[in-house]
Amino acid sequence: MASSSSHSDIPVSSSLSRNLDVFVSFKSSDTRDNIVDHLFTAFSPQEISTYKYDPTVPVDKSIVHTLIKAIKDSQISLLIFSENYADSYLCLEELACIMKCKDERGLIVMPVFYHVDPKDVQKLTGKYGEALEKHELENKDKVESWKKALVDASSIAGWEVNHIANGNESRYIKEIVETILNRLNRL
Contacts of 141 (CB under 8 A, 6+ apart): none
The amino acid occupying position 167 is G
138 is annotated as an active-site residue: no
Question: Residue 84 phi/psi, 5° resolution?
Answer: -110, 15
Cβ-contact 3, 10 below 8 angstroms: yes
DSSP state of 27: B
User: Of the listed 47, 93, 94, 104, which one is catalytic?
Assistant: 94
**Pairwise CA distance, residues 28 & 116, whole Å:** 15
Picking from 18, 21, 16, the residue whose alpha carbon sits closest to that of residue 186 is 21
Eight-state DSSP code of residue 36: I
Residues serving a catalytic function are 94
